[in-house]
Structure 1
């Protein structure tokens, strides 16, 4: 704590460390839950996210010019709620020079797929550099006056959720510049399983930078180490990487996210269904955008109304200015009561395809391939393969990935 310049900041740092030791007392009851199979407590101590472990990373920021990759989930939890990491570090006289903003923006209020613009944060006055516009990767000029980059974003463990692509590109840019990267780890609410089709090398891109399964079962800190050690950065580079681990968490815990990680993931049900219903993003079927039940329902006007007793009408709202099937009556299914998922399910995608009155309207082939990571899945569905037959074709890739993944797991 010697780097703090006065008694006021010393007291504030001590207060932050106390938060870190206890995480958020108010939400302890939500976070320390029961295993659905054993019905026994999974934890005695509350989960502590890495951002709360200020004593572990503040010394790494001492006397340095810092850039932060952050959004609305980048918070330190308190007994009464939370404080944004940027605000907290500024109060401690950490020299933050700029913020890199990922998809959905620094404050998390930009639509999916909508470009994030450079600008200035009105609250802090810090420059905001977009990593979801003309640049997906920090330029060497962006890093010219930076000594270290701090990365803290809540992930949900799905390959096409773009924050892991942002992480990889940030690590790559920092490796090129010789700048350390510090990743603050957070729980992954879908860390309890590995499933789905694996990305084919021919289709890698921002919806999947590497050949991993759709659901990879790792925290963002574990994944960062795998990127680094497996040589996935361009030209064989390796970042100067340090991961600050979280505490008192295991991957089989249910974990409630107190802040929605993006505009169209409003609750736990949506987050758990996202790996399965996210595949609808590569089709013309609406997956709940334009309603208050995003990724908890699906439907379309061109699906057979005689097969469904549920319908809804998407309208522009927060997170979706132009939802698919806007203003049209969509026939489909309500999945808002579905329990926590332990696998990627194809049953709803296959149901929608089967009951589409004009199948030529169903797939957006390029978009579907980017989300699935392979051309095979669309062809398998069109050929009428069963879900079991399709899943059998994933097994070899899943087992090979699990062997690699096992080297980087830090939590039980």
Structure 2
């Protein structure tokens, strides 16, 4: 039997840890102090793990209180046999897109299987060694953020080998819905499902959508159990307690990400190669048009070969931008894209992403082949947004049936 005293101790740590993580901003504490994540509700899922061989799909965001969930669950007697690590690795020590290799966790001795190397999903042998899997990864609510792809791969493996997947739900910091729905002609590793850029779902909700819409390979259905959060709503302004990936290293970068990641399909740097990624925009060619400047350099673990490496870039500083206002708007900001295209002197080079190793073409990022022409033709933001219909409204209606939170 699991020791009730240890269980109570873990719960106490979770509550106190949540208060400590909220920091010194009283307003922010009031907004999110009532949230209890799925992981923190150990009493609702740990008893069901007794006697089972457990695999965990986790990374550095997988915490109970202030402690990595793997350490907390081991302390509760859970028999964790294997850890599966996504992009950036289990302990966030790999750069964007870098191959992550299998290893053994030096702190626990548990084998770590990379899902961002030669394999994107667990093998039969690995699944045969487990009775149940736990998925606990913090997402940021964007189509091109790869953790939703990892979720789908894990669900397919669980369905194929008859294993249950327990999803410990966490808040979506960008819980709004906006952007064009992906034209599946442009399906890629940064866009696998017909959803808008900001999909407005938690991982638990998205898992239900994957099952319900038949989006898993061969239409399989995964046996999922979602450990729901308490006191969460999609419009809540939520500050993540742990950075979700190396280049989303601040609350500003997380809130700006749905808008600024589109620049990965252009000649404009988004600050990779600095310690302020996704909060600045610029290029060497904009010298004389903007006073603000920054210089991308090689930073191991963040960006080894950034766009415009060792060159001074001139452009826009968004570090002091009102991200709470942007969050409340529930919209992706297209004005920065329109402004910088207009300012860029060599228009034919603006959408040349060949120098950027991070993501890919603008068509893959935005999800269609009309956006580039719309920008080049000088369409307004309102005109561009109009072209997203009726797909965006249809998605919002479909999404309603899978929501677990208001």
Q: TM-score, normalised by structure 2?
A: 0.92
Shift of residue 59 of structure 1?
2.0
Alignment of 1:5-404 (within 5 A): 9-20=3-14, 24-27=18-21, 33=27, 46-77=34-65, 82-191=66-175, 193-302=176-285, 304-317=286-299, 318-340=301-323, 341=326, 342-364=330-352, 367-404=361-398
Match of 1:38 in 2: none
Residues 62 and 160 (structure 1), Cα distance of their counterparts in 2 relative to 1, 3 Å cut? same
Shift of residue 32 of structure 1?
8.0
Distance 1:141 1:107 in 2: 24
Shift of residue 28 of structure 1?
5.3
Distance 1:197 1:92 in 2: 45
Match of 2:404 in 1: 410
Mind listing any 5+ residue stretches in structure 1 that lack a counterpart? 36-40
Distance 1:122 1:397 in 2: 48
Distance 2:398 2:238 in 1: 25
Instruction: Note the alpha carbon deviations across 1:151-194, whole angstroms, 9 max, x for none.
Output: 00011101100001100111011111111000000011111x21
Tell which deviates more after alignment, 65-74 or 285-294. Answer: 285-294
Distance 2:370 2:116 in 1: 29
Shift of residue 20 of structure 1?
4.8
Residues 236 and 398 (structure 1), Cα distance of their counterparts in 2 relative to 1, 3 Å cut? same
Instruction: Note the alpha carbon deviations across 1:2-49, whole angstroms, 9 max, x for none.
Output: x32xxxx432122113345666232457798479xxxxx657x62111
Shift of residue 232 of structure 1?
1.1
Distance 1:114 1:382 in 2: 33
Mind listing any 5+ residue stretches in structure 2 that lack a counterpart? 354-359
8 A Cα contact 2:211 2:221, kept in partner? yes
Q: TM-score, normalised by structure 1?
A: 0.91
8 A Cα contact 2:156 2:216, kept in partner? yes
